[in-house]
Amino acid sequence: EAEVAQSPRYKITEKSQAVAFWCDPISGHATLYWYRQILGQGPELLVQFQDESVVDDSQLPKDRFSAERLKGVDSTLKIQPAELGDSAMYLCASSFGLGWEAFFGQGTRLTVV
Amino acid sequence: KNEVEQSPQNLTAQEGEFITINCSYSVGISALHWLQQHPGGGIVSLFMLSSGKKKHGRLIATINIQEKHSSLHITASHPRDSAVYICAVSSLIQGAQKLVFGQGTRLTINP
């Protein structure tokens, strides 16, 4: 069954280090989302891609976060430097297009120490 | 006030009980999603609906567009149903189609 793949599942990093997460959406899905979910809260959108173009990155802390989807397929989310407050679950989701049902990956749980 | 509000925030019940989780929203939507998240796990889409009612096994989701309200029901609840249930709406916000999430309802089913 098609699924959204994310890696790593877990990551522990020291404050001020760089960290990167990878997401491979379901084949054929043009829309890709990165969400951050702090424990006990709902997901918060960080960035949304339509193919290789950024549709919405208004909530992305651009001083330390960057995201790319160079060929419009898989995507990488980077944090540099990581801060303690970045500890969260980072979720990737994809959909066939805007407004279509979104499918989520297992997420990457980041702990910054 | 959040655009998507869920109630209750936490719910504990005994195995076999009928469960209802509510979701109210204040924005225009193209669809509403019910999602399930197990502890430490990713999110699984349960339903996407824009009108009426959908049923899948012991799960039923309903939506009332006029009242901007949706409910997720679980019949004959089981401990394996313990999870966080999240309501999300697809909405056109500032010219872009976005998913807006509720804060989630943590459900615990005791044996």
- Encode pLDDT of B55-65 as tens digits: 999 999 999 99
Q: How much is the pLDDT for A1?
A: 64
Higher pLDDT, B43 or B26: B26
pLDDT of B41: 67
Q: Name beta bridge partners: A106.
A: none
Residue-level pLDDT at A89: 94
User: How many cross-chain Cβ pairs, A to B, lie less than 8 Å apart?
Assistant: 53
DSSP states of A7-46 as a string? E-SEEEE-TT--EEEEEEPPTT--EEEEEEE-TTS--EEE
List pLDDT tens digits, range A44-54.
999 999 999 99
Using DSSP's 3-state secondary structure scheme, residue B81 falls into helix
Closest residue to B43, CB basis, from A44, A56, A104: A104
- Given this model, what pLDDT does residue B30 score? 86
Residue B40 has pLDDT above 80, yes or no: no
Interface touch B40/A109, C-beta < 8 Å: yes
Q: Which residues in chain A touch residue B99, judged by CB atoms under 8 angstroms apart?
A: 33, 45, 93, 102
In this predicted structure, which of A15-29, A49-63, A73-87, B66-80 has the lowest mean pLDDT? A49-63
* Range from A39-43, A101-105, A107-111 carrying the lowest mean pLDDT: A39-43
What span, in angstroms and rounded, lies between the C-alpha atoms of B85 and B87? 7
Residue in A closest to B48 by C-alpha: A101
- Write down the pLDDT at residue A98: 73
User: Would you call B42 helix, strand, or coil by DSSP?
Assistant: coil
Give the model's confidence band at B97: pLDDT under 50 very low, under 70 low, under 90 confident, else very high.
confident
C-beta atoms of A56 and B98 within 8 A: yes
Shortest distance, CA B15 to any CA of chain A (angstroms): 24
